[in-house]
Chain A
Amino acid sequence: MDLEFSDSEKRFRDEARAWLEANVPRTPLKSGDSREGFAEHVVWEKKLHAARWSVVSWPAKYGGRDASLVEWLIFEEEYYRSGAPIRVTQNGIFLLAPTIFEFGTEEQKERILPAMSSAERLWAQAWSEPEAGSDLASVRSHAERVDGGWKVYGQKTWTTRGAFCDGIYGLFRTDPNSERHKGLTYLLVDLNQPGVTVRPVERIDGDESFAEVFLDGAFVPDTNVLGGVNQGWKVAMSTTSSERGLSLRSPGRFMKAADRLVDLYQRRPDPGLRDRVTRAWMDAQLYRLYTFQTVTRMIEGGEIGADSSLNKIFWSEMDIRLTETALELLGPDAELLGGSPHAVDDGDWMLDFEFALAGPIYAGTNEVQRNIVAGRVLDLPR
Chain B
Amino acid sequence: MRFSFTEEQRQMRDALRSSLTESCPSGRVRAAWKTPDAALRIELAEQGILAINLPEDAGGLGLGAQDWVLLAEELGLVAAPVNLIETLATNPTLAAIGALDLASQVGTGAEFVALEEPGGFALDADKAAGILAVRDGRVGWLRDATLIAETSVDGTRRPFKVDGRFEAVDADATDLLDRAALVAAAELVGLSRRMLDLAVEYSKSRRQFGKPIGSFQAVQHHLVDALQRIAFAAPAVYRAAWSVDTNHPNRSVHVSMAKVYASEAALFTGRKALQVHGAIGYTFEYDLHMWMKRAWTLSSAWGDVRHHTDRVGQFVMSGGQDA
Q: How far is the CA of A133 from the CA of B92 in the complex (A)?
A: 57
Q: Which of B1-45 contact A (CB under 8 A)?
A: 1-6
Residue A103 at the chain B interface, CB threshold 8 Å = no
Pair B5/A275 contact, Cβ less than 8 Å: no
B223 touches A378 (CB 8 A): yes
On whether the beta carbons of B231 and A310 are closer than 8 Å, the reply is yes
What residues on B are CB-neighbors of A313 within 8 Å?
224, 228
Report B323 CB to chain A, min CB distance, Å.
7
Interface status of B152 (Cβ within 8 A of chain A) = no
- Contacts A262-B317, A282-B312 supplied; 16 other A-B pairs, CB < 8 Å: A1-B2, A2-B242, A274-B317, A275-B309, A277-B317, A282-B257, A285-B322, A286-B235, A289-B3, A295-B1, A295-B3, A310-B228, A374-B224, A378-B227, A379-B200, A381-B211
In the bound complex, residues from chain B placing their C-beta under 8 Å from that of A1 are 2-6, 66, 238, 241-242
Given A1-B242, A371-B220, A281:B236 Cβ within 8 A: no
B310: Cβ under 8 A from any A Cβ: yes
For B309, list chain A residues within 8 Å (CB). 275, 278-279, 282
Q: Give 18 CB contacts A-B under 8 Å.
A: A2-B1, A2-B2, A6-B1, A262-B316, A274-B317, A282-B261, A286-B232, A286-B235, A295-B1, A299-B2, A310-B232, A314-B232, A370-B220, A370-B221, A370-B224, A373-B228, A377-B227, A378-B227
Q: Given the interface contacts A286-B236, A289-B235, does A275 sit within 8 Å of B323 by beta carbon?
A: no
Asked if A22 lies at the interface with its beta carbon under 8 angstroms from chain B, I say no
A201 to B306 CA separation, bound complex (whole angstroms)? 45
Task: Name B's interface SS.
Answer: helix
Q: Are B204 and A77 in contact (CB under 8 A)?
A: no
Q: Give the chain A neighbours of B231 by CB distance below 8 A.
A: 290, 307, 310
Q: Nearest Cβ in chain A — how far from B125, in angstroms?
A: 33
Bound complex: CA A292 to CA B2 (Å)? 8
Q: Is B164 an interface residue (CB 8 A)?
A: no
Q: How far is the CA of A4 from the CA of B2 in the complex (A)?
A: 8
Quick check: is A144 within 8 A (CB to CB) of the other chain?
no
The answer to whether residues A296 and B2 also contact, given A266-B317, A275-B313, A282-B257 and a CB cut-off of 8 A, is yes
Residues of A within 8 A of B310 (CB): 275, 278
Interface residues of B in 189-220 (CB under 8 A from A): 200, 203-204, 211-212, 214-215, 217, 219-220
Query: Which A residues are in CB contact (< 8 Å) with B243?
Result: 3
Bound Cα distance from A373 to B5, whole angstroms = 25
The answer on a CB contact under 8 Å between B3 and A296 is yes
Q: Flag whether B239 is at the interface (Cβ < 8 A).
A: yes
Cβ A293 vs Cβ B313 within 8 A: no
Chain B residues with CB under 8 Å of chain A are: 1-6, 66, 200, 203-204, 211-212, 214-215, 217, 219-221, 223-225, 227-228, 231-232, 235-236, 238-239, 241-243, 257, 260-261, 306, 309-310, 312-313, 316-317, 322-323
- Nearest CB to that of A78 among chain B residues? B323
Q: Name the contact of A378 in the complex, choosing from B200, B217, B306 (C-beta under 8 A).
A: B200
- CB <8 Å contact, B228 and A3: no
Which residues does chain A contribute within 8 Å of B204, judged by CB atoms? 380-381
Question: What A residues does B214 contact at CB under 8 A?
Answer: 380-381
Which residues of B have CB within 8 Å of A70? 1
Residues of B within 8 A of A377 (CB): 224, 227
CA separation between A287 and B238, bound complex, in Å? Answer: 14
With contact pairs A262-B317, A285-B257, A370-B224 given, residues A296 and B323 touching in the complex (Cβ less than 8 Å):
no
Select the residue from B215, B242, B260, B316 with max chain A CB neighbours within 10 A: B316
- Name the A residues within 8 Å of B6 (CB-CB): 1
> In whole angstroms, how far apart are the Cα atoms of A247 and B309 in the complex?
30
The CA of A367 and the CA of B1, in the complex, are separated in Å by 33
Complex contact B220–A289 (CB within 8 A): no
C-alpha spacing A307/B224, complex, angstroms = 11
Counting from the closest, the 6 A-B pairs by CB-CB distance are: A374-B220, A278-B313, A380-B214, A289-B235, A296-B3, A381-B215
Residues 264 to 312 of chain A near chain B (Cβ within 8 Å) = 265-266, 274-275, 277-279, 281-282, 285-287, 289-290, 292-293, 295-297, 299-300, 307, 310
Q: Are B227 and A373 in contact (CB under 8 A)?
A: yes
Contacts of A262 in B (CB 8 A): 316-317
Within the complex, the shortest CB–CB distance from A225 to chain B, in Å, comes to 36
Chain A residues 27-71 with CB under 8 Å of chain B are 70
Would B260 and A310 count as touching, CB distance under 8 A?
no
The residue in A274, A279, A285, A289 that gathers the most chain B C-beta atoms within 10 A of its C-beta is: A289
B273 → chain A closest CB, angstroms: 13
- What residues on B are CB-neighbors of A255 within 8 Å? 323
